[in-house]
A and B are shown apart, each in its own frame.
Chain A
Amino acid sequence: MSDTSFDSSQTTEASFGDYFALLKPRVMSLVVFTALVGLLVAPGSVHPVEGFAAILFIALGGGASGALNMWWDADIDRIMKRTQKRPIPAGKVTPDEAFAIGIALSCLSVIMLGLASNLVAAGLLAFTIFFYVVIYTMWLKRSTPQNIVIGGAAGAFPPMIGWAVATGGVSIESIMMFAITFFWTPPHFWALALFMKSDYSDAKVPMLTVTHGRRNTRIQIFAYTVLLAALSVGMSFTALNGPVFLATAIILNLLFIKGAWTILRRNEEQAEGDNYAAERSFFKLSLLYLFLLFTAILADAVLVRMGVTFGGWV
Chain B
Amino acid sequence: MSNFRPDHELHQRRRGRNFGLLAVLLGFVALVFLLTVVKVQNGGKVEAFDHTARPSLTTPEGGQ
Contact = CB atoms under 8 A, between A and B. Distances in A.
Q: How large is the interface on A (under 10, 10 to 19, 20 to 34, 35 or more residues)?
A: 20 to 34
Contacts of B13: 13-15
B35 A4 contact: no
Contact of B20 (A13, A16, A47): A16
A8 B35 contact: no
B18 to A, nearest CB: 9
B17 A14 contact: yes
Contacts of A13: 10, 13-14
Interface residue SS majority, chain A: helix
Interface stretch (A48-56, A166-174, A300-308): A48-56
A16 B18 CA distance: 8
Interface residue SS majority, chain B: helix
Contacts, number: 43
Contact of B4 (A4, A11, A15, A17): A4
B17 A16 contact: yes
B3 A116 contact: no
A254 interface: no
B26 interface: no
Interface residues of B, number: 20
A308 B9 CA distance: 58
A49 B17 contact: no
B31 A53 contact: yes
A49 B10 contact: no
Interface in A1-47: 3-6, 8, 11, 13-17, 19, 47
B58 interface: no
Interface of B: 2-4, 8-10, 13-14, 16-17, 19-21, 31, 34-35, 37-39, 42
10 contacts: A3-B2, A4-B2, A4-B4, A5-B3, A14-B17, A16-B20, A47-B38, A47-B42, A50-B38, A115-B35
